[in-house]
Structure 1
């Protein structure tokens, strides 16, 4: 049952009846302070008034017995604090900027003896030292979001300016195709980071390291990044917590309209394009957007004072044109379609003889008689376009067709935020959002694939989200927050407008009589897949197993948090529930597909082969046919329930201790329709596995297959297929819905406990220096649905894929069908080890003047019980060399499926929690918030990330020691990362300042920039052999031998030789090599992005012209290095590009924009 109807009703009900303020548990901040007199003595019972300077919202509290006051759950905004006490002059502090997840410590607020009606007012400026929170919390401010450059206008790419963030996230356009890839943060796997929009989870549930809740940067107020947190309120995933806070309406109307333009004419060309004489590729990005926010009111009737109801709405549209891949194919000529192969030659100009299978001799004149041409086979060939490039002087006979499509991709993002304050104690917020991306093209759709232009599709990715909350101020010291949200992400492979489904229907192409093995498997009557092997760049017609795609995920998210300020304790208790429904949509087996698959390729052993794939099709003969028995719904579900209790204890005005624990209870992925099958080793018995067809020789000495049970001979391709009736093909297979086995093929884990503690100490009591640290345990309870379930949903017997060999279009439906061993997924039944991350840090923050804060922190983490996988059906080392493993018909080893540890199956991927990792870093940050026209940020990280896998389900060895084989620097490790970002409003010219022309030309200029310098990432050496000789007989993949230092001194590295290519040797027989996983580092990053902007005042509005340059100096930055070591039979390395740079990062690119703000 879909969750959509009832959860949408729930969201609507909550929004109408009681949904919270702009702040939520995940996106609110806190303000603390101590009221003292002139001598430093505490003042008890002082009245403190907090006012939101944008909405005039007011809250009050009193100082407690220690003179301390706390305002919990404060929405991000700008505030003023007024302190009043009988017998003292009032004190006010304004321009207090509170960010999401921030604890703003005001320190000692000193009152002087005097009249309470007198007020001393101080304006806050610059960044503040965090003296009363233990975790690391970084902020991207409104000014940074509006001023710094992001080529794709995607917020994820700007996160790389913060300490501890790898430089492996960039985006060319908002949301990319189906979400933005997120970076590795704090040395952890990228899919462990939680990305939220106003507290609502935005990670894709299929691929967790993609953020799919795309949002216009002009609709974002700020971004809060909890890189290391020791508060129990932070959960869901064990990595960094990124909160994107959207803008709210204020008492004043504010809005903008903007346009951004990118075009290839503004760009430099890539180094390698210049080298090869290739022109700049088509690059067209046009972005349009508008925003409007303010009070929702009707003069004299609704919201008269403009302080109760607010709105903010934004809309952004993209128009993108990019080139598709260059397609090259060998297609049937006009003559060949009529059966005339008299002009069909190979690449050497030699005639390819069309053989008559009935005589074994060439057709006369190399022309198939008209009465021998099969009408369906001819119709299949007619689906292919005619060649468009017959000049062999250009093609050298390798292809006769070349083309390239232009891909269009319109995008649209709309969001609305409504904030309502019905009473002084209640806050309401409702936030609907809509996002869509439509990739229009053949290769952009994932639905249809071919090496020629044939059928364009739409691939639409749609994300709709609805969230609301209720925030109740029960008393000045107790606040309750309730949040609820629903989101859906849909993949749609539609065929509409000019992309008509009829173009790929059988009945439109004279294929009505072409039957299928499973009549209900292809309800849309799609044409079959076709392959024509045996020709260079052979034509192929392919489909995605999900064609047409109709996939979708749903997420329901509910939280409730209660904050209670009790004297010096800020207690917080909360619950979190998340339900995810995931579906890849109806899909077929990857082997045959639901529309069927014909292979017309050459095969000398096929008695019906004509020696030419197009001739085979015309005769109606094929090498093989496979078909999926149907479509699996592929629907899965996961529940997670978490709760926590924490205390922020103000031990003294200078010392704060955070401590608490988070509890996790979750149900791992389950199949919603029981349509899944997995391998269970505990139920496997090799004695029950069927026999396989074995190699044999027929009386004429030809290699064939033999049924070991009956002795019957069969065509050679059946070698390795199951012998019918000889055993149980599903021995050891567990099917969903089996009441004797756990749902989802795993036991439910026990409740997990994650304690956390941290401290913050105001070293000198002046709010200028803070010593902070902590330790916390974090659990991973949400996993990728794609990696957890999808292989099971198409495994036999859920879907079968019978294969037919050597047959004809007239008779294949009645021909004999065979089945082969296939791949399966398997799981550790006892889910007693949950992935756990232990994280700690210790650091100092120092106010260094000029509104600037320096942060120096040591950060560490250990990962244990991380999810990995092993192929438990990997051949043992040397097994192919055994006498019993030899094929008497060839003198070579038998196919691998005869030699596996678990016969009857191919690869078996066994998921388990055995991985480990660690991270150590020195992180330095310098932050000056935008003050007096200047903002500065410096992030430096010196780190080492070690482990055995970059992501979940990384494959582990079976026969080699895991630590010695895989442990090393992780693929995203960068030893040094330095990022400098700045915004500067240039001083106005003073000379002739009163002259209007001078003001127009020389006033209101600004610059912005991001400079990045980073080490390269670790790379290994891949081993290849040119002679095809097996020297290991099975086992885990071998590696090269390292015989010298592979690292060249910096001065000796060059384009042609990035590392010491003489440092490697081929391993011998039985030698699996000694190379580690990381052998050298790839090229680093040295990049300067720059923007120049000019403002023109227009009444109460402002017009901005902006010029952005990415890679300002057009510095060629190498990116990839050829690390493929290819050895010949004599052990010589023969890859001429080995060690050579083979790609470069983007050259200089420009973007222009025009913006009107009011």
Structure 2
């Protein structure tokens, strides 16, 4: 869709306003000031002083007695209110959290301004400012709770409605997999670090900030204001620590090794491990003799962390037996040349393909009993991470503040396959840079402008030592003449039901990044707190990837995939070469306005409108192309130099769908009870991975070709995998996106009751629901109609093979009852947070990039959208997570052992726990290969003849569900099993930590830590095998893996 001048002009008008506030790392203080009779006090001065830095922030009350102090740094404040004819009132300790709008009202007493009344009442726990749902995780929780791999994102799952992705557990490494909010895809979330967006295409962060550098973070799960958007899911806002007027810091070392860990449920031995995670933080005032005295003016904070991990992970797989390598099988094997069974189910030695004979050496012999018959002894994967994070804050005047940040994270990883002979380099590097300014005008107008830069580079490569002699020995000339990757190493070989072999499948470079400029203006007008803003984002993606040639075997001809391999009869072969070559850019502008209207002392109404305008995707170098189904051609036009027209639009969004209204209400029923409700519309865009794939479309000189063998008889072989006779029909996969692409739109609604019990306990019960339309999905639009005969004649576009289109036809539904109980720390030293979620998530599609374990990532055109409807891969009906932080009652000033030897031994200990109870995810059963002869890469379902879910008491690792409930459909027909019909294993997990603090000096302490993850060593199983291959797949319905067993970590910190 083209740019609409009136709409665009409206956004430009917003940019003409004074520079504005970005709410992505700050807090807001609002309230009203009245006298003893309830009358408003106008023109009162409200000052919030940041205790750690002595920064003052001042506002005046309006004619209605209301005040607002936006854009406040996170931390503890001393609030002072002064007005002529009234005594000065002071609140000495008020904590402001990131992304929070805290409302505090003052009632002033008549008297002289020289008299001060100090009120030590705690700020209310109930939220009367808006309808937003979510959770703040403070600095103590981030630093102290047990965190496996020191991943702060794991603490997002302490929030009701937030789940770890399938195959992960509380405390796992979520930066690799993101998190799920209210049933939406993990790609729907945004993670902000001091205002910079640090997520990549799969919704995960590209690096983990040092836990000790994080001040706190907030997860907004829904019904947030118009200032948040870009994607429709959760918004995680993290803010790092800043320097203060006092030098402070810490050094730390965390240590793990295999001697302290338990053995995995399925392993005979424990994997070797040595992990050292060390670093520190340091901050304070900037001081340069005779130049700068930073106290009360300029501060610095720096963090460093290094991880060194040597892991020897025994991965598991299925390898051929010695008998199978020699062609001897226990099931019937068909001779593809005549359709008759081989005598004694044995393939004659002279029929074993010579290329297959050479490749057999890379499968080791079985070493484990059972269907999963191999456990690698020493698959080494080394991780080395270096991270530097710095932040500078500068108060140039009482009304002008500057800040900046820089982050550099590098991870040169070495990855290993199940077999030691195959390794690959997988280096990652991330950069973040930001600069911002906050300025106050006339005591009531506040603006905050920021500019942020983010870049992540990924450079996969062959590991040192990849054999450059082996490819020539296979006598396949194309491996030596096409591309650069096949000249060294072993080709990819995939065999259904068996572990594959092959060196690094992809080498090259993938670099993604963005610029983000944010500007917001805020002020208080009577009873309205108004904010409006404009954001600008530029996305860019540089890709240059080369794929290794591959061979796929799927039991098409002999009825056994490994027998097909021995006979040299692949289903599909791919001639490697450059698979991605692109320099993509896409810009977006976002304009919004938010009015938080305090109707009266009990009712606050939140009114917001957001507009998101997305410019077209384009390739500056002309390396990418889209596909027009109507004309069956690639566009933009191809130039004489063999490239497409640089900068031409590839994908355009329907920007009229970018108007996103939000409304919320918070009603204070009593002083301790608040009712909140709201409705909002959020929008999302196509994640990066889909436009990137447009760089894989063919152009003159592109090398990646796919060869499909015959449907009933093989037409290609391992000895001649890329026959020239088929070269004209060996067309590559085409990727396309509708030129006019809808925005994924999520309508969300909710209602909650929040009640404060006593002075430090909060209970929140809510209902949350949503409906998603235009969810993006990958559709195989050129699948042939099921049936016999020529596949090309049955395809809608017979001149092409596979065509994958990223369309916006999917839908999703979510309903949940959520409850939260939170106890803030009191004199007894106990704080806790509990979250319960009872939910149901339905969907018609799954994630199109990255995918979900045990799920398909594309839909065949032969299956309708509604036929694909079922439980979402993120559907986990029941989840309860409970964290405790308890300072044990021993030592001076405590309940027990207050003096003497007992006090010296028992004082200073803390116990911290995270308990997770979670029902199992639901997953699908698939019929692999291409039984419909549709030429589809999208798996089909078998038939379901009964309910496969066994009673809980009958579920075992060898027989998790009733495999007899599935059957092969009649030839050329789709099965009826449907999406997500089998329930997987649930999770029971208890992570705990013991801390002891020792005094080292007047301002220095030493802390000892012992942490145990999955401390009860409960086996949490992964999903069972879901590939239905009658008579040959012995892993069908069998659980072959478990999540991490008990792991113990020791740590030592020095704080000053």
TM-score category by the smaller chain?
A: 0.7 to 0.9
Does residue 774 of structure 1 match 2:678? yes
Q: Evaluate the alpha carbon distance shift between residue 1145 and residue 476 of structure 1 in structure 2; reply closer, same or farther with a 3 A threshold.
A: same
Corresponding residue for 1:644?
A: 592
**Shift of residue 37 of structure 1?**
2.1
Tell me which of 171, 191, 194 is aligned to 1:198.
194
State the match for 2:1044 in structure 1: 1146
Corresponding residue number in structure 1 for 2:812: 917
Instruction: Please name the residue that 2:350 is paired with.
Output: none
Q: Report the Cα offset of residue 243 of structure 1.
A: 0.5
SS in 2 for 1:265: helix
Q: Is the 8 A contact 1:288 1:317 kept in 2?
A: yes
Match of 1:936 in 2: 832
Name the CA distance, whole Å, in 2 between partners of 1:1077 and 1:584: 34
Tell me the C-alpha RMSD between the 2 structures: 4.6
1:1105 aligns with one of 1008, 1023, 1026: 1008
The 3 A distance-change label for structure 1 pair 346 and 461 is: same
Match of 1:221 among 215, 223, 241: 215
Q: Which of residues 239, 259, 262 in structure 1 aligns to 2:256? A: 262
Q: Distance in 1 between matches of 2:580 and 2:775?
A: 30
Provide, for residues 165-203 of structure 1, a one-character-per-residue CA deviation record: whole Å limited to 9, x for no partner.
1133788999969x5321110121111111111110011
Correspondence list, 1:1-20, <5 A: none
1:297 aligns with 2:287: yes
Counterparts in 2 of 1:1116 and 1:582: CA distance versus 1, 3 Å? same
Aligned to 1:1067: 969
Compute the displacement of 1:1065 (Å).
Answer: 4.4
Structure 1 pair 279/481, CA: closer, same or farther in 2 (3 Å)? same
Q: Evaluate the alpha carbon distance shift between residue 732 and residue 655 of structure 1 in structure 2; reply closer, same or farther with a 3 A threshold.
A: closer
**Cα deviation 1:1071-1104 (Å, max 9, x = unaligned):** 5343331223212112111111111111121111
Residues 747 and 829, structure 1, Cα contact 8 Å, conserved in 2: no
Match of 1:147 in 2: 144
Question: C-alpha displacement at 1:562, in angstroms?
Answer: 0.8
Q: Which residue is 1:159 aligned to?
A: 156
Counterpart-to-counterpart distance in 2, 1:744 and 1:528: 36
Give 1:778 shift: 1.0
Pair 821,428 (structure 1): closer, same or farther in 2 beyond 3 Å? same
User: Quick one: which of 1089, 1110, 1119 aligns to 2:1022?
Assistant: 1119
Match of 2:915 in 1: 1011
1:1068: how far off?
3.5
Q: Does the CA contact (< 8 Å) of 1:836 and 1:863 recur in 2?
A: yes
Worse-matched range after superposition: 864-873 or 110-119: 110-119
The answer to whether the aligner puts 1:50 opposite 2:48 as a matched pair is yes
Whole-Å Cα distance in 2 between the matches of residues 814 and 1011 of structure 1? 58
Q: How does 1:349-748 map to 2 (within 5 A)?
A: 404-441=378-415, 443=417, 453=421, 458-493=425-460, 522=484, 526-527=487-488, 542-545=503-506, 547=507, 549-587=508-546, 591=549, 633-684=581-632, 743-744=649-650, 746=652
Q: Shift of the alpha carbon at 1:1114?
A: 1.8
Tell me what 1:234 maps to.
228
Determine the structure 2 residue equivalent to 1:364. Answer: none
Instruction: Give the equivalent residue in structure 2 for 1:974.
Output: 876
Summarize deviations over 1:289-342 as a string: whole Å, max 9, x none.
1111111124664226x11110111111111111256699999xxxxxxxxxxx
With over 3 angstroms needed to count, the CA separation of the structure-2 counterparts of 1:346 and 1:868, relative to structure 1, is closer
What is the DSSP-based 3-state SS (H/G/I as helix, E as strand, rest coil) of the residue aligned with 2:212?
Answer: helix
Distance in 1 between the 2:599 and 2:420 partners?
A: 72
Residue by residue, what CA displacement relative to the aligned partner does 1:429-452 show, whole Å, maximum 9, x if unpaired? 110001011112554xxxxxx956
1:247 aligns with 2:241: yes
Q: Give unpaired runs (5+ residues) of structure 1.
A: 1-18, 332-343, 349-376, 444-449, 605-610, 617-621, 685-729, 886-893, 1129-1133
Asked if the contact 2:255–2:1050 (Cα under 8 Å) also holds between the matched residues in 1, the reply is yes
Specify the SS of the correspondent of 2:990.
strand
Equivalent residue, structure 1, for 2:272: 282
Task: Sort the Cα spacing of 1:130 and 1:328 in 2 relative to 1 into closer, same or farther, 3 A.
Answer: closer
Q: Residue 156 and residue 149 in structure 1: after superposition, are their counterparts in 2 closer, same or farther (change >3 A)?
A: same
3-state SS in 2 of match to 1:462: strand
- Partner of 1:835 in structure 2? 744
The structure 2 residue matched to 1:908, chosen from 788, 803, 815, is: 803
TM-score (norm 2): 0.83
Residue 494 (structure 1) shift: 6.3
Relative to structure 1, is the Cα distance of residues 92 and 681 closer, same or farther in structure 2, using a 3 angstrom cutoff?
same
Native 8 Å contact 2:626 2:634 kept in 1:
no
Cα 1:75–1:999 shift into 2, 3 Å: same
Query: What SS is found at the alignment partner of 2:905?
Result: helix
Counterpart residue number, 1:320: 309
What's the secondary structure of 1:143's corresponding residue?
A: helix
Contact 1:483 1:559 (C-alpha < 8 Å) held by counterparts: yes
Which whole-Å CA distance do the structure 2 matches of 1:1069 and 1:436 have between them? Answer: 52
Q: Which residue of 2 aligns with 1:890?
A: none
Deviation at 1:514, TM superposition (A): 11
* Equivalent residue in structure 2 for 1:758, among 655, 664, 670: 664
Matches within 5 A, 1:332-351: none
Once the two structures are TM-superposed, the CA of residue 457 in structure 1 deviates from its matched residue by 5.2
CA displacement, residues 628-649 of structure 1 (integer Å, 9 cap, x when unaligned)? 6768632212211111112111
CA contact (8 A) 1:488 1:554 kept: yes
Report SS of the residue matched to 1:159: helix
Give the structure 1 partner of residue 298 of structure 2.
Answer: 309
Answer yes or no: is the 8 Å Cα contact 1:632–1:799 preserved in 2.
no
Alignment partners' CA distance in 1, 2:163 and 2:914? 15
**Cross-structure match for 1:77:** 75
Give me the whole-angstrom Cα distance separating, in 1, the residues matched to 2:991 and 2:909. Answer: 17
CA contact under 8 A between 1:37 and 1:43: conserved in structure 2?
yes
**Aligned 8 A contact 2:144 2:912 in 1:** yes
Comparing 404-413 with 1054-1063, which one deviates more in the overlay?
1054-1063
Q: Which residue of 2 aligns with 1:1078?
A: 980
2:781 to 872, 896, 912: 872
SS of aligned partner of 1:272? coil
Distance in 1, matches of 2:366 and 2:43, equals 93
Partner Cα distance (1:569, 1:1144) in 2: 54
Change (3 A) 1:325 1:1106: closer
Contact 2:697 2:734 in 1 (8 A): no
CA contact (8 A) 1:327 1:403 kept: no
Name the CA distance, whole Å, in 1 between partners of 2:104 and 2:771.
35
Q: Distance in 2 between matches of 1:1024 and 1:974?
A: 26
The structural deviation recorded for 1:423 is 1.1
Residues 28-79 of structure 1: per-residue CA shift (max 9 Å, x gap): 2111122222232222222221111111011222222222211112121111
Tell me which of 123, 128, 131 is aligned to 2:125: 128
Aligned to 2:615, the other structure's residue is in SS state strand
TM-fit CA distance, 1:979: 0.9
3-state SS, counterpart of residue 824 of structure 2: strand
Q: Measure, in 2, the Cα distance between the counterparts of 1:824 and 1:792.
A: 12
Change (3 A) 1:309 1:173: farther
Q: Is the 8 A contact 2:683 2:745 kept in 1?
A: yes
1:771, distance to aligned residue in structure 2 (A): 1.4
Is residue 329–residue 451 contact of structure 1 (8 Å, CA) maintained in 2?
no
SS at match of 2:797: coil
Mapped partners of 2:628, 2:152: distance in 1: 44
Question: Larger deviation: 821-830 or 239-248?
Answer: 821-830
TM-score, with structure 1 as normaliser: 0.76
Q: Residues of 2 paired with 1:674 and 1:657: CA distance?
A: 49
The answer to whether the 8 Å contact 2:573/2:722 transfers is no
Pick one of 799, 823, 845 that aligns with 2:702.
Answer: 799
Q: 1:807 to 1:254 in 2, by over 3 A?
A: closer
Residues 381 and 983 of structure 1: CA distance in aligned 2, closer, same or farther (over 3 Å): same
Q: How does 1:960-1039 map to 2 (within 5 A)?
A: 960-963=863-866, 965-989=867-891, 995=899, 997-1023=901-927, 1039=941
